[in-house]
Chains A and B, each alone.
Chain A
Amino acid sequence: MSESKKTFVITRFDPDKDEVPKTQEYEIPVHEDWKVLDAINFIKDEVDPTISHRWSCRMAVCGSCGMMVNGEPKLTCKTRLSDYGDRVIVEPLANFPVIRDLVSELDGFMEKFQAVKPWVIRAKEEAGAVSASNPPKSSKGTFVQSAAELAEFKQFSLCINCMLCYAACPVVANEPEFLGPAAIALGHRYNLDSRDQGLDERNEVFRGEGTVFSCSFANECSEVCPKNVDPAAAVNQAKFGAVIDWATSLVLPRPGASKEGGK
């Protein structure tokens, strides 16, 4: 297996010791088939055990290891080192507060995530006629859902919460409170699910300040998404849905629909 050397310029920051982040350089031997994460793990194990970073599955599904690599948000476990030159700059994800070194703070993200009510909302009373908004259940107690209905939301359910889209989003950069691509895509995913009846509640959220209408449709989120979720499409669709829902509600008040939102 061929080996070469690369220099990694890694952001170091310990709030107890540092006023501002600094960088530290490590020159190490790398294998040709390594991912960026392999190099960081090598440094952590063999050179400098004081570096802090997050990782776990190393197969691009747990979403832990997002970092900036040469200025771009990347899932480091699937980012090939061979695509980079002799110097690789690794920083914590942009647009997030930093806890330490390469570790970002997720508190705000988790709040946004919860704000879109990412669970199936059903009316308490499920009896009554089967309709588009009240799909039938099989003898096994599962809803009937066609392949086409599944395909409606499937793509938006593939988000691994790696937060690369927040690091890439120009709106998040200026307006940290912006609900952001992943959270909007998640809310939209439930809105599109034939089993869900929570459209009104979520549209109430989407019409609030700092949500879908803040998006400038720069499309950066979809470009950096490592799972091809296309959050930009979700945001755009959600924007449209929220407007239509609001407009129709003016002319056609629907009985039984929750206008208050929230639980």
Chain B
Amino acid sequence: MVEVSRHDIIIVGGGAAGLRAAIAAAEADPSASIALVSKVYPMRSHTVSAEGGAAGVAREDDNFEMHGQDTVKGSDFLGDQDVIQYFVEQAPKELALLENWGCPWSRNDDGSVATRAFGGMTVKRTWYAADKVGFHMLHTLFQHSMQFENIVRYDEYFVSKLLVEDGACRGVAALDIRTGDMHAIVGRAVILATGGAGKIFPFTTNGMIKTGDGMALAYRAGVPLKDMEFVQYHPTGLPGTGILITEATRGEGGHLKNSEGERFLVEYDYGVGQKAELGPRDMISRASILEMEAGRGIQGSYGEYVHLDLTHLGEEKIMSRLPMVRELCKIYAGMDPVHQPIPVRPVVHYMMGGVDTDIDGATTLPGLYAAGEVACVSLNGANRLGSNSLTECLVFGARAGLHSLEFAKGSAAGSDDGLRAQAEEEAARVDALRGRKKGGEKIAAIRHEMTSAMESGCGVFRRQESMGAAVEALVQLKGRVSDLRLEDDSKVFNTEVIAALELHNMLDVAEVVAVSAHHRKESRGAHTCRDFERRDDQNYLYHTLCYHDPSGPRLDKKDVTLGRWEPVERKY
């Protein structure tokens, strides 16, 4: 029989958003029991890989209005302006809180917290801890969380289903990876904080674990995914591996160069104007691809690339501000950025879209919340500015933690028997999948076909035809995935069955991305369609919603919350 454990709030995901939510709720009500459920130990969460920094107004020459305006413009006017206003006001408080908790932020000479320049930001407002910001934020949050006795961790539990009763989310079915047993972890509210879905693409900065699990869980429970067509390509990933080379390299003065040695963002008109290397990511990624198409890329064994030149910064600056970049280049590109330019190409980095939430993190399903990259609270619109997302995890993680706590206080607990029965059904589904020898399809093969379809259909530049082909390919693959063959029938730490569950999740998410992209017949932010090269506010100034339907994804619209910043042409 499936074991049932009870808490007040269940948080799925142990990265920055999940930990911040857990701490907020645990601190606000020491009598509340908070379950923190993650498929990995929290310090392995992908927040760890973020490098460059976290944005929040800190300097005298900066203010909330400027941070807000930069974010709205960066979003290509698809960000919700009430959300953005709240975000910029909370950002410095959250970052200061992290400082109080021990985050080793880099410092100015007077001992105050230092800030650096970042793409699309008009002033230096990105807080940093050298170039290991995500690592330090994650470890600070995780270590700080350990003092709360009311945070109960479920490390290495894979959540495969949301438990819904009487129209409210009351828990999760979670597979204990170590034993292979299914558990019902039940309570009065659930927060999804599982991060993004970069692994639906072949070339990504994301770690192996970024398989869109939370997006798929919500989607299958009837909650719409929002703005999923907006996939951020980071301009500077290492060819081959896709390992991230932080935007802070450009914030610190690095230059992008083509095969002719030209700073192409300065020499040619790519819309970034005087900002040059400090332009937003969508524009710089497009510029890099166009340089390659114009024959000014450099050929390498992993395809074409451009150069990111840091050699003029000097060894001292690189070692104090960008030590990890140097380490990564040496290990994974076999070169030293102190002496040579770094080979880089645009790489899938971040999902602007996600589970549709309001400003409190609440979804359309009562009791279900989401925060961080898994969510789409509409801070980032069609293009996120670098260094806004780590802060987003803090601001909206905390808010979701507090609001879910309020919700939990007024919510019924749900029945043990009913929720157990649901988890038992889920256990049977996973049992049938484990060691399923009657199928004919290989996980790795379907995964490979999926990522290829996404790259050719939903890359930096898209065409109606290529997006349509991706949609068709995904429909096919979703049919084939029901015929998987699994070899591993052991219950103990069976990573094959986890990979199969993740593959199902990725296919759902990938299909939503392709369908949402195919429908948007304009170019806005990171969604660049060659058949419709201009932004079309008349017809497309809305959020795309995508609902799960037995007959396939169903699209709908949601208004953008505008405000003081009227949509104008986005020029830098």
Contacts and interface: CB of A to CB of B under 8 A. Distances in A.
A64 B492 CA distance: 18
B366 interface: no
Interface string A110-133: 100110011110000000000000
A74 interface: no
A6 interface: no
Contact of A49 (B45, B104, B146, B486): B486
A90 B139 CA distance: 29
A216 interface: no
A142 B114 CA distance: 11
B208 interface: yes
B490 interface: yes
Contacts of B113: 138, 140, 142
B490 A118 contact: no
B178 interface: yes
Interface residues of A, number: 61
A62 to B, nearest CB: 5
B493 A52 contact: yes
A146 B112 CA distance: 8
A145 interface: yes
A118 B105 CA distance: 17
Given A53-B495, A60-B331, A46 B444 contact: yes
B207 interface: yes
A190 B111 CA distance: 18
A78 interface: yes
A150 B104 contact: yes
A253 interface: no
A61 B41 contact: no
A257 interface: no
Interface string A23-49: 000000000010000000000111011
Nearest to A135: B111
Contacts, number: 155
Contacts of B101: 119-120
B102 interface: yes
Interface stretch (A96-104, A172-180, A229-237): A96-104
A157 B46 contact: no
B487 A33 contact: no
Interface stretch (B29-37, B92-100, B337-345): B92-100
Contact of B111 (A52, A61, A146, A160): A146
Interface residues of B, number: 63
Contacts of B109: 147
Contact of B146 (A1, A48, A114): A114
A126 B175 CA distance: 44
A91 interface: no
B132 A61 contact: yes
B351 interface: no
Interface string B528-555: 0000000000000000000000000000
B95 to A, nearest CB: 8
Interface string B384-404: 000000000000000000000
A84 B494 CA distance: 29
B415 interface: no
Nearest to A78: B331
Interface in A167-200: 186, 190, 193, 195-196
Contacts of A103: 493
A103 B490 CA distance: 14
Interface of A: 1, 14-17, 33, 44-46, 48-50, 52-64, 78, 99-101, 103, 106, 110, 113-114, 117-120, 138, 140-147, 149-150, 153-154, 157-158, 160-161, 186, 190, 193, 195-196, 263
14 contacts: A16-B491, A33-B334, A52-B493, A53-B495, A57-B44, A61-B49, A61-B324, A100-B492, A106-B155, A119-B101, A119-B144, A119-B146, A120-B144, A147-B111
Closest 4 CB pairs of A and B: A144-B111, A45-B444, A56-B207, A118-B143
